[in-house]
Amino acid sequence: MRLAFASLAVLTLAAAPPPPPKTPTPAKVRSPGDAVKAAPATDWIEIPAADLLVMHLAGGKRVVIQLAPQFAPVHVANIRTMARSGYWAKATIYRVVDNWVTQWGLGDGPFPTPPGVVARPPEEYQRGPAGLTLMPMGSPDPYSEMGAYADGWPVAKQAGGTVNPTYCYGAVGVARDAAPDTGNSSELFAVIGATARRLDRNYALVGRVIEGMENLSALPRGTAEMGVYAKDQVPTSITAVQIAADMPAAKRPRFEYLRTGSPAFTDYVQLASHRADYGVPSPGADLCAVPVPVRKKKA
């Protein structure tokens, strides 16, 4: 079809006015990616295998989530316990809401959780600043006193002094009912649209997707109430969920992130906040528009 149309185009081209001369392509300026590429190997920190949750999906696809024990230790411990016990062996991805979230788990229960799972974890929506080195992001943040990075995560410092992780694209949170203590990490969701930062400090943030995001974001949207899959829709099966540390070393996924506050990271944040590589630079940027660089670690 395209070829046929192209041939037609050639036939009619002679009658068309000559195309105007093109403006020269502007000189290349440094992009945020250039700063990341220039980072020395020593500026990359490997993510611990105990912090990688590997979800295997039907069809041989997978999703890798970096867990955030710095911010939600009890919820993350629950996730590790559930993964190791096979709790999610029959889980599915059953809810997809455009410009909002994709959600998975066993669905309506309650289902008995394995021994060791804390049924009612503390809120863990924010924490004190002790032990965290905050690097200010530099742009105003409408959701807090200051957007920043800490320990490889985009965070917000609140006027009261607490620090919370932020619901940027790919962030993984704990689904719950309206009462704030009803989530135990058995049902999780990932942000698949524009910022979901109205969830900050209201839902426990337990990680972020670092591989296979498209296996959550490109799924058909649910047509039943609240974006849950209707009876005529087929939820995606989750065939296994593992902690990378429990996988054979040769099969483990390995990832590393650019060290918060390293010269290359600082350079990257500066370039990404005032991008000049498109033309007109902006005065600043959203915290979520300047994500922490994460990449596969070469063996």
User: Using the rule CB under 8 A, is 168 a contact of a second copy?
Assistant: yes
User: Using the rule CB under 8 A, is 246 a contact of a second copy?
Assistant: no
Q: What span, in angstroms and rounded, lies between the C-alpha atoms of 243 and 167?
A: 23
Cα end-to-end distance, the chain, whole Å? 44
User: Using the rule CB under 8 A, is 107 a contact of a second copy?
Assistant: yes
Q: What span, in angstroms and rounded, lies between the C-alpha atoms of 35 and 39?
A: 7
φ and ψ of 275, to 5 deg:
-50, 120
User: Using the rule CB under 8 A, is 25 a contact of a second copy?
Assistant: yes
Q: What span, in angstroms and rounded, lies between the C-alpha atoms of 91 and 6?
A: 48
Nearer to a second copy, 255 or 259 (CB): 255
Binding mask 46-85 for a second copy (x = CB under 8 A): ----------------------------------------
Q: Which of 29, 38, 218, 224 binds a second copy (CB under 8 A)?
A: 218
Q: Which stretch binds a second copy (CB under 8 A): 45-53, 69-77, 193-201, 246-254?
A: 193-201
Query: Nearest approach, Cβ of 242 to a second copy (angstroms)?
Result: 19
User: Using the rule CB under 8 A, is 224 a contact of a second copy?
Assistant: no
Q: Which of 19, 40, 131, 248 binds a second copy (CB under 8 A)?
A: 19
Q: Which stretch binds a second copy (CB under 8 A): 33-41, 211-219, 249-257, 258-266?
A: 211-219
Q: Which of 29, 98, 263, 295 binds a second copy (CB under 8 A)?
A: 98
Q: What span, in angstroms and rounded, lies between the C-alpha atoms of 167 and 202?
A: 10
User: Using the rule CB under 8 A, is 236 a contact of a second copy?
Assistant: no
Beta bridge partners of 191: 101
Nearer to a second copy, 158 or 262 (CB): 158
> Which token pair is 52?
């990688």
Nearer to a second copy, 152 or 154 (CB): 154
Q: Which stretch binds a second copy (CB under 8 A): 45-53, 61-69, 77-85, 113-121?
A: 113-121
Q: What span, in angstroms and rounded, lies between the C-alpha atoms of 274 and 202?
A: 31
Nearer to a second copy, 133 or 282 (CB): 282
Nearest CA among 254, 293, 260, 246 for reference residue 70? 260
φ and ψ of 41, to 5 deg:
-55, -30
Q: Which of 66, 78, 103, 144 binds a second copy (CB under 8 A)?
A: 144
Q: Which of 83, 213, 241, 269 binds a second copy (CB under 8 A)?
A: 213
User: Using the rule CB under 8 A, is 193 a contact of a second copy?
Assistant: yes
Place of tokens 């920043």: 148
Q: What span, in angstroms and rounded, lies between the C-alpha atoms of 91 and 104?
A: 7
Nearer to a second copy, 248 or 279 (CB): 279
Beta bridge partners of 27: none
SS3 state of residue 33: helix
Q: What is the CA radius of gyration of the chain?
A: 22
3-state secondary structure 227-248: HECCCCCCCEEEEEEEEHHHCC
Which residues in the 124-143 window bind a second copy by CB under 8 A?
A: 125, 139-143
Question: What number of other Cβ atoms are within 10 A of residue 109's Cβ?
Answer: 10
